[in-house]
Amino acid sequence: MFVSQRALLHVDMDAFFAAVEQARRPELRGLPVVVGGERGGRGVVSTCSYEARAFGVRTAMPIGQAVRLCPQAVFLPVDMKAYAAAHHRLVELFRTVTDLVEVVSIDEARLDVTGSRLLFGPPRAIARRLQEQVHDACGLGCSIGIGPNVLLAKLAAELAKPGGIGELGEADVRGRLRDLPVGELHGVGPATEERLAALGLTTVGMLQDVPFAVLAAAFGRGAHGLRQLAFGRGVTTLRRAPAAPKSVGHETTFSEDVNDAETLRRTLVALADRAAADARRHGLAPHTVTVKVRFSTFHTVTRRRTSARPLATAPAVAAAALGLLDELAVGARWVRLLGVVVSSFRHGASQLTLDDGWREVALAEAVDRVHRRYGSGALRLAGGLGGRRGPGAATAPESGPGEPPPLFARGAGDPATARPGVAGRGFAAASRALPART
């Protein structure tokens, strides 16, 4: 009989970007490799091989400092195309173990192997096999954590770095976990760590034992979350990617009919912007754009165009939509409704980073993030509505969420500071080096 407890694997690649460089250039294996920019450049370290870490080089460190610490290191620019390709190969491999795979970041994934045990044996055996497969297929090393929930599995992976397999179960919560520094808990950021230290709480055990009232006095509503972390309680079910939609679109019914070409064009660009953003949120890149025009007579016409190349960005969708509007020769007729739909999704948007257009995609994704955080009026395409909404902006309902995974995993959110979107340690500084995140 198998125990019914959930078995999750957390896979995190070792020195991911640097390892991809070493895998494709065998002469770099065993050498200190720093990824983030050329020697003499002004960037920061994205990551470095463990050989470079031995010299004190770390993620988010200015390249100049890395050069001083380890002058003999090989300094390489970020090649996102190569890392994204490796990421896709890895995810495919993970899916051969279980179809319950949650991609956490470019180098991290969670696998629910609860049901795979009958076929592949105990979680540790599955993890060992997976490490071998990752090595054989991609020439990369990874660390794997096994746990009953995402928190313990991730922590186990971190403790097993590099190259190991670790396991943390319920029994460890009152055992091994107690001696760990609080900062090891995913979700306790540096600020919280400092505030805990001010209370004299430096280990997980101390955080378990401190009277709740003390914690509540210092952290208010964050106290509960901290206590949960201290006892290794985390989510046990993985987020599956939502089913991909066949099309996404937006339409506007004008509060008063419009026959002014400029207003129509600006409205269309705004609609294209939103449709493109929705597609990207689903990780999809459309090949087809459809424009719908309903006249004041209620007569409705549509026109569509399919392009061989994916329309990965809002400007590409907008250009196609404007072309279609021209073809529809609306002329001086009064228009009641305008709509843009994108469809024919063939590739994930993240795969588009493999094309030349990936910088543009990255920029568009950054704009999406600003929209999500500050509202859709925060940034607009030039040529869009210029901050003013079209006359009567009655738009179709937003398509569902389903955000693509972040490039790098972040903390589970710092429950004590509870600021959504605050990046994990070292993230903000290092991410500046990456066009994808700026």
The set of long-range contacts for 155-158, using a CB threshold of 8 Å and a minimum separation of 24, is 155/180, 155/184, 155/185, 155/186, 155/232, 156/10, 157/10, 157/11, 157/12, 158/12, 158/184, 158/186
Q: Which of 124, 135, 161, 224 forms a contact with ligand TTP (CB under 6 A)?
A: 161
**Site for Mg ion, residues 56 to 115, rule: CB under 5 A:** 107-108
SS3 category, 339: strand
**Which residue of the set 21, 102, 108, 251 is catalytic?**
108
Distance of CA 23 to the CA centre of its chain: 24
Q: Is 108 a catalytic residue?
A: yes
- How many residues line the site for Mg ion (CB under 5 A)? 6
Q: Segment contacting ligand TTP (CB under 6 A): 131-139, 293-301, 317-325, 427-435? A: 427-435
The two structure tokens encoding residue 232? 């290794």
- The position carrying tokens 């569509």 is 304
**47 near ligand TTP (CB under 6 A):** yes
Q: Which of 8, 10, 11, 12 forms a contact with Mg ion (CB under 5 A)?
A: 12
**21 near Mg ion (CB under 5 A):** no
Q: What is the dihedral of CA 268, 272, 274, 277, to 10 degrees?
A: -170
Per-residue x/- track, 92-121, ligand TTP (CB under 6 A): --------------xx--------------
The CA distance from 225 to 189, in Å, is 13
Q: Which of 22, 59, 343, 399 forms a contact with ligand TTP (CB under 6 A)?
A: 59
The two beta strands, 142-147 and 165-167, are: parallel
For ligand TTP, which is the closer residue by CB, 80 or 324?
80
Q: Segment contacting Mg ion (CB under 5 A): 11-19, 48-56, 247-255, 363-371? A: 11-19
**75 near ligand TTP (CB under 6 A):** no
The CA distance from 247 to 271, in Å, is 14
**13 near Mg ion (CB under 5 A):** yes
**DSSP string computed for 18-64:** HHHHHHH-GGGTTS-EEESS-TT-S-B-SEE-HHHHTTT--TT-BHH
The CA distance from 323 to 329, in Å, is 10
The alpha-helical segments, DSSP class H, found in 220-260 are 222-230
How far apart are CB 430 and ligand TTP at their closest, in Å?
A: 3
**434 near ligand TTP (CB under 6 A):** yes
How far apart are CB 424 and ligand TTP at their closest, in Å?
A: 7
**DSSP string computed for 164-188:** -EEE--HHHHTTGGGGSBGGGSTT-
The CA distance from 414 to 419, in Å, is 7
Q: Which of 8, 28, 46, 196 forms a contact with ligand TTP (CB under 6 A)?
A: 46
DSSP E strand boundaries for 283-410: 284-295, 300-306, 335-348, 394-395
From the list ligand TTP, Mg ion, none, partner contacted by residue 6 (C-beta under 5 to 8 A by kind): none
How far apart are CB 162 and ligand TTP at their closest, in Å?
A: 5
**DSSP string computed for 124-151:** HHHHHHHHHHHHHHHS--EEEEEESSHH
From the list Mg ion, ligand TTP, none, partner contacted by residue 427 (C-beta under 5 to 8 A by kind): ligand TTP
From the list ligand TTP, Mg ion, none, partner contacted by residue 431 (C-beta under 5 to 8 A by kind): ligand TTP
The CA distance from 9 to 154, in Å, is 8
**21 near ligand TTP (CB under 6 A):** no
Nearest residue to ligand TTP, scored by beta-carbon proximity: 430
The two structure tokens encoding residue 129? 């096999």
**Site for Mg ion, residues 359 to 418, rule: CB under 5 A:** 409
**15 near ligand TTP (CB under 6 A):** yes
For ligand TTP, which is the closer residue by CB, 162 or 205?
162
The CA distance from 159 to 167, in Å, is 9
**138 near ligand TTP (CB under 6 A):** no
Contact residues for Mg ion, defined by CB under 5 A: 12-13, 16, 107-108, 409
Active site residues per annotation: 108
Contact residues for ligand TTP, defined by CB under 6 A: 12-17, 46-47, 59-60, 106-107, 161-162, 408, 426-427, 430-431, 434
